Structure 1
């Protein structure tokens, strides 16, 4: 047989040479044409191969397969570690970005503390809505009552120093919310004023909607009264036009901070 002839030819070499010759010869034949091994029956293998050499060849093949399995496992493990490390870096970057954002907002608005509540939000990853400490949250805004009396201009400057503006009211719900926290014996400036010829304007530049106003009956009534307060009259809260230099309390408003 072909395999037997090769073995007999190589067997006359030194013991080390015979092993190398046979290992190289049969390894090459195994990898070049594996069908050759499949065609040989067990009797051929027993007759032509010394047991030690056969064991060595099979061990070589097993080591090769074992190495391939280990290399594949290592590659998969390395890729998983890379993915996990990337996710961790992205998460840490987002947390740090939020921290810087909050720090910048607090510094800009001159607030040292925030009070936050968890919410169900579609605003990307932002799930907390926050107001400065002692401010009252409603909808997408926060409200703060200034108890010191001042003119309309001074009241607006006070709100501005806190990163806010005088309150803007666009719905009955908003008015009802804030008036429940106010003293019915006092009047409070809101962010509505007359630019001239009864052209009412909100301080945040949102449109003045006459269908969503809450004037007391008979108001506004005098052209020289160009600023507006909210006060309690009889059994209800409403708006009243007043002179802008009068000393009144006020309500400030700022947008919520989302984290």
Structure 2
């Protein structure tokens, strides 16, 4: 009696060790032909781990840029300071030239140190701006413009001078020799309060014994200023009182320059 064919499938599979090590798995299939085929299938290779490293050049670049802009800001600030100082110096020089009117000077060589102040004894030349007249250690400028006393003082101040301060009769005679007798000229003497407290613009003390008032002067009890005026029937040139807001010509005075 013939035996019937028997088909048997047998699968073998090795389980991986619990140690975490991946091993090959083997399988065997037994069929009716009593043949066994063993196939080895390799498990997936372990994945490569990618380590992302930070770029060390990025913070360095930021630091370099920060230092660059800091140095740029410092340089810009220093440049501004230097330019401001240069501009201030140029402006000061310009104002000095405009005020002192020293674009052109007329100079005379000193023959003795007596003419110059003690602080200028080593200087050789005494100078006045062009169109100014020298006398002693002073320079004088006569203007044909007319203005109030305060405006006249301002005009002299812009020239680096002040209204005429008369120190002696000789000085007054020198000045009046070139004045127009039909005009009146402000000098730097005023009584701001009208109380007889006369003041020179250069703070020279007022000496009542060294004045040149006309016979009927001074008069008035309000704010008063002094002008040089000519009285033909009296003694010629002298001092008169006039309102400070009146328009009169002016005489400016400044110290000579020593070079």
- Give the TM bin, normalised by the shorter chain: 0.5 to 0.7
2:166 aligns with one of 155, 164, 169: 169
Does 2:102 align with 1:111?
yes
Structure 1 stretches of 4+ moved >6 Å:
102-105
Q: Match of 1:193?
A: 190
Distance (Å, rounded) in 2 between the aligned partners of 1:107 and 1:148? 18
- Please say if residues 98 and 159 of structure 2, whose CA atoms lie closer than 8 Å, have aligned partners that are also in contact: no
Q: Match of 2:239?
A: 239
1:148 aligns with one of 133, 140, 145: 145
SS of structure 2 residue aligned to 1:184: coil
Q: Match of 1:216?
A: 214
Unpaired segments of 5 or more residues in structure 2?
Answer: 1-92, 114-119
The TM-score with structure 2 as length reference comes to: 0.58
Distance (Å, rounded) in 2 between the aligned partners of 1:124 and 1:240? 38
Alignment of 1:10-49 (within 5 A): none
Distance (Å, rounded) in 2 between the aligned partners of 1:105 and 1:258? 16
C-alpha displacement of 1:227 = 0.3
Show CA shifts across 1:24-73 (max 9, x none): xxxxxxxxxxxxxxxxxxxxxxxxxxxxxxxxxxxxxxxxxxxxxxxxxx
- Please say if residues 225 and 242 of structure 1, whose CA atoms lie closer than 8 Å, have aligned partners that are also in contact: no
Q: Match of 2:175?
A: 178
Instruction: Flag the 1:104–1:258 CA change in 2: closer, same or farther, 3 A.
Output: farther
Shifted more, 105-114 versus 132-141: the winner is 105-114
Shifted more, 181-190 versus 118-127: the winner is 118-127
C-alpha displacement of 1:224 = 2.0
The TM-score with structure 1 as length reference comes to: 0.58
Larger % of strand: which? Answer: 2
SS of structure 1 residue aligned to 2:131: coil
- Please say if residues 192 and 223 of structure 2, whose CA atoms lie closer than 8 Å, have aligned partners that are also in contact: no
Distance (Å, rounded) in 2 between the aligned partners of 1:164 and 1:205? 14
Alignment of 1:13-162 (within 5 A): 106=97, 109-122=100-113, 123-162=120-159
C-alpha displacement of 1:106 = 4.4
Distance (Å, rounded) in 2 between the aligned partners of 1:120 and 1:108? 29
C-alpha displacement of 1:120 = 2.1
Between structure 1 and structure 2, the one with the greater Rg is 2
C-alpha displacement of 1:146 = 1.0
Q: Cα RMSD (Å) of the superposition?
A: 1.9
Unpaired segments of 5 or more residues in structure 1?
Answer: 1-101
Show CA shifts across 1:169-209 (max 9, x none): 01000000000000000000000000321100000001001
Q: Would you say how many aligned residue pairs link Structure 1 and Structure 2?
A: 158
- Please say if residues 101 and 129 of structure 2, whose CA atoms lie closer than 8 Å, have aligned partners that are also in contact: no
Distance (Å, rounded) in 1 between the aligned partners of 2:112 and 2:222? 46
Does 2:244 align with 1:253?
no
C-alpha displacement of 1:223 = 1.3
C-alpha displacement of 1:215 = 0.3
Distance (Å, rounded) in 2 between the aligned partners of 1:244 and 1:103? 31
Larger % of helix: which? Answer: 1
